[in-house]
Amino acid sequence: MENHFRLTEMSHSPGIDEKLAALPAAAGVYVLRNAAGKAVYVGKAKSLRDRVRSYFRDDTYSGHKPPEMLDSLANFETIVTGSEAEALILESNLIKEYSPRYNIRLRDDKTYPYIKVTLAEPFPRVFVTRRLSRDGSRYFGPYADVGHMRRALRAIKKLYTIRSCHYDLPKQAPPRPCLDYYIGRCKAPCVDYQSADEYGAMIDEVLLVLQGHTGRLATRLTERMAEAAKSLEFERAAEYRDTLRGLEELERRQLAIDPRGGDLDSVGIARDGDLACGVILKIREGKLLGREAHFLGNVHGKPDESVLSAFLARYYLSQQEFGKELLVPYGFADGALIEEHMQARLDRVFRLRAPKRGLKRDLVIRAEENARHLLEERRLVEGQAERRAPPALYSLKNNLNLERVPRSIIGFDISNLQGSDPVGAAVWFENGLPLKSAYRRFRVESVEGPDDYAAMQEVVARYFTRCLEEEKRLPDLVLIDGGRGQLSAAAQALERAGLPDLPVVALAKREELIFTLDRDEPLRLDRREPGLRVLQQVRDEVHRFGLQYHRQRRRKRTLRSALLDIPGVGPARQKALMQNFGSLKAIKAAGEEDIARVSGIGPTLAAEIARRLRAADGEVP
C-alpha cells in the first residue's frame, strides 16, 4: 500500500493559492493545520483538489465544519493514495497519530488485549498480549471485554494441553519435563513426549475454538472418538470424550442467535450529544461469541453516516478475525470502500449489508440496544444522568434528527373558549415520565380575542426568559400542541429569548403530524412508533393541564360575575356566602331564610339574591 502514496509537502511552497492550484484530482488524504503547524483536521477525498479547495475558497463543503476551525486554517498537506479504500485506512491511521481536535475520536482509544497464537514456532504458545507485530502469529481480538477474553483462555487451557514455557523449541529444551506435565496440563513436547504433528493438530483445534467454530470441531472430535473406540484405543477415546464435554459446556454459555448457523458481525451505534457508543456483536456458527464496545467523542454536529464510518474504519478494520458478513444499521457512503478493502484483505467474499427486515435486522437492533445500554451506563457513571433513558427516547432522537437524547421534554398549550379567559400551560417530562413539580400555568396578559399564535408566543417567551434569569436547566426538546403556525410562533419566542438553537417541534391532533423547523413537509410516524407515543403523552398531558386551569378560571369569573352583579353584594358579602354554602349551586338551592342568616345579609337582600339567581338559572354552569 505504501507504494501508492505520494506526499505533497507544503512547508516550502510560496503561498496558499499556489498550493491550492497544484492540488491533484486524485483520491487521497489531507491534513489541515493551524498557524502553529498543529493538525486540526484529517480527512479523505475522492478528489483532493475539489475537497481541499472548498475549505479555503467557497462554502459548498466547508459550511459543514465549525467556523472556528475554518478561521484557524493556515496550511495543509496531502497524501495521494491508490484508491479510496486505501485513503480510508490511511485517514484512520493519521487520526490516531495526530489526534486532531475536530475529528471524531475514540474516547477509549487505548491498547486492548489480544490472544496471540505463535504459529511461527514449531510448538506454538497461546497467551495474552497488547502488542501486534508481523511475526507470523495469529491474533484474536482486540478484547474490550477482558472478562470474555479470560473466559475463552480458561476454556482453552481446560480443553487442551498447551505449553506455558518460554523455551525456543526445539533449539532450547530442559533436561526433564516441568510440573505441568505431571499434573496433566502439558504433554511435554520439550522432551519429545509429544510430536510436532500431534501438537500442531491440537493448535488447529484451538484456532477453531477461538474463531467460535465449536460445532465444526465437535463433529471432528466425535468422528475421532468413534474411530478410536473402534480401534480399541479406549484411552484416546476417553480424551476425545472429555474434550467434547468441555466444548458442550462452552457452547451452553454461548447464546443461540440463528439456528441456521452463520458467521456475522453486527454493528450498532447509539449517540447522545458529543458522545457515541459503537458495539459489534460477533456471531459464529449462529451463536453469540462476544461483544466489543468502544466510545467515540467529538461527534457533535457530525452526520450519523460519518460516525458509523469512523467507528468501522478505526476499530472494526483493526481486528484480526471477521465474519463473512458485516451488518450495519444504515447505508453510508464509505460502505463500498470498506467492503472492497475487506475483500482484498481476506481474499474471499465479504459483504456489508444494512438489512431492513428479518433475523439480520433483529441482530442490528440487538447491537443498537447494547450500544444504548452502555451509553446510558456511561452517562450514569459520569453523573450526567440520574437514571436511564428509555429506548423510546432514542427512537425519538433518531426520528427528529436531534443531537441529544431528549431526556427532558417540555410541552406547551394554549386553552381558551372563543378567546375568553386565555391561559397557557407547560408540563415537564423527565425520561418519559411526568415531573409535576415542574408544571407551570400562565394567564395570557397581552392578547385580546382568539389569537392562539400570539398567546403561544407570549407564554413561551415568558417561560424561557425567566428560565435564563433564574439560571434554571433547559429542556432537551420543546413540544408545542398545534401545527405550523403555533410552531413558528414558539420559534420566534425562543429566538427573542436568546435560544434559537433549542430544538422545538409541534404535534398536530387527528393525523398526528409532527412539524419541524428543518422540514417543509410534516413528519408522519407509524402509530406504533415508541417515540410518537412519548410526544402524544406529553401533548395530551399539557392539554389536560391547560384545560383544567382554563375551566377553573372560567368558573371563578362566572361565580364572581353572578354574585357581584347583584346590587348590595360586594366582595366581603360574596366571600361570606361562599364560606357558608361552599358553592354557587348550594346558594341557589338554599331558601331565603338560610341566606338571610349569613353575616351581613338581611331578609331583603336575601330575597333579592334568591330572585336574581333563579332568574339566571341555566345560564351559569
DSSP-derived letter for residue 442 is E
3-state class of 479 per DSSP? strand
Identify the weakest region by mean pLDDT among 55-64, 280-289, 305-314, 537-546.
Answer: 55-64
Average pLDDT of the chain is: 83
pLDDT digits (tens, 9 = 90+) for 299-340: 888 899 999 999 998 888 878 788 899 999 999 989 999 998
Please state the domain extents for the chain.
2-103, 114-256, 264-381, 395-543, 565-615
Q: How far, in Å, CA of 459 to CA of 90, rounded?
A: 53
How many other CB atoms sit within 10 Å of the CB of residue 487?
25
* Count, residues in the chain: 621
Separation CA 189–CA 165 (nearest Å)? 11
The pLDDT of residue 144: 61
Phi/psi for 504 (5° steps) reads: -140, 135
For residue 269, is pLDDT > 80?
yes
At 7, the pLDDT band (50, 70, 90 cuts) reads very low
Mean pLDDT lowest among 68-72, 472-476, 492-496: 68-72
> 116-130, 283-297, 300-314, 605-619: which has the minimum mean pLDDT?
605-619
Choice between 325 and 449, residue whose per-residue pLDDT is larger: 325
The span from the first CA to the last CA of the chain, in angstroms, equals: 85
Arithmetic mean of pLDDT, 101-108: 79
| Residue 467 confidence (pLDDT) | 93
Three cell numbers written together for 510: 387527528
Question: What gap in Å lies between CA 310 and CA 292, rounded to an integer?
Answer: 16
374 vs 11 pLDDT, higher one: 374
Question: How wide is the angle at C-alpha 581 spanned by C-alphas 575 and 583, nearest 5°?
Answer: 80
Q: Is the pLDDT of residue 540 over 90?
A: yes
pLDDT of residue 400: 93
pLDDT in tens, 147-199: 667 777 777 777 788 898 988 888 888 989 999 899 888 989 999 899 999 99
pLDDT band for 359, please (50, 70, 90 cuts).
Answer: confident
More confident residue, 582 or 246: 582
Task: Give per-residue pLDDT as tens, 32-75.
Answer: 998 888 999 999 998 898 888 888 865 544 456 778 888 888 88
107 pLDDT exceeds 80?
A: no
Question: What element of type H or E holds 147?
Answer: helix 146-159
Which CATH code fits 264-381? Answer: 3.30.420.10
Q: Among 385-394, 507-516, 534-543, whose mean pLDDT is lowest?
A: 385-394
Return the pLDDT at 271: 92
Percent of the chain topping pLDDT 70: 87
User: What is the percentage of the chain residues whose pLDDT exceeds 90?
Assistant: 31
| pLDDT, position 618 | 44
Q: Taking each helix axis from N to C terminus, what angle separates 234-253 and 214-230, rounded to the nearest 10 degrees?
A: 160
The DSSP symbol for 132 reads: -
Instruction: State the pLDDT at residue 521.
Output: 92
Do 395-543 and 2-103 fall under one CATH topology? no
Tracing cell 427532558 back to the chain, one arrives at: 408
- Greater pLDDT, 172 or 582: 172
Task: For strands 264-272 and 255-256, give the pairing.
Answer: unpaired
Residue 446 has pLDDT above 70, yes or no: yes
Asked whether the predicted pLDDT for residue 19 surpasses 50, the reply is yes
Instruction: Give the amino acid at 182.
Output: Y
Task: Note the pLDDT of residue 270.
Answer: 93
Task: Compute the distance between CA of residue 1 and CA of residue 89 in angstroms, rounded to an integer.
Answer: 10
What is the rounded CA–CA span in Å between residue 123 and residue 546? 78
CA distance 9 to 329: 39
Rounded to whole angstroms, how far apart are CA atoms 606 and 336? 90
CATH 1.10.150.20 fits 565-615, yes or no: yes
**According to the model, what pLDDT value does residue 110 have?**
57
How does pLDDT run across 78-90, given as a tens digit for each residue?
Answer: 888 877 878 887 8
Exposure class string for 152-181: b at 16+ Cβ within 10 A, else e:
bbebbeebbbbbebebebeeeeeeebbebb
In this predicted model, which residue has the larger pLDDT, 289 or 391?
Answer: 391
Judged against a pLDDT cut of 50, whether residue 10 lies above it is answered with no
Helix (H) or strand (E) holding 15: none
What pLDDT sits at residue 621? 36
Architecture of domain 2-103: 3-Layer(aba) Sandwich (3.40)
Res 575: pLDDT: 79
Integer Cα distance of 196 and 575 in angstroms: 104
pLDDT band (50, 70, 90) for residue 250: low
- pLDDT for the residue 548: 86
Say how many CA atoms lie within 13 Å of 20 toward its Cβ.
Answer: 15
In 3D space, the residue among 36, 25, 28, 23 whose CA is nearest the CA of residue 75 turns out to be 36
pLDDT at site 582: 73
Report the 10 Å Cβ neighbour count for 259.
Answer: 9
- Is the pTM here over 0.75, yes or no? no
What is the enclosing helix (H) or strand (E) of 171?
Answer: none
- The domain at 395-543 falls in which architecture? 2-Layer Sandwich (3.30)
Does 493 score more than 60 pLDDT? Answer: yes
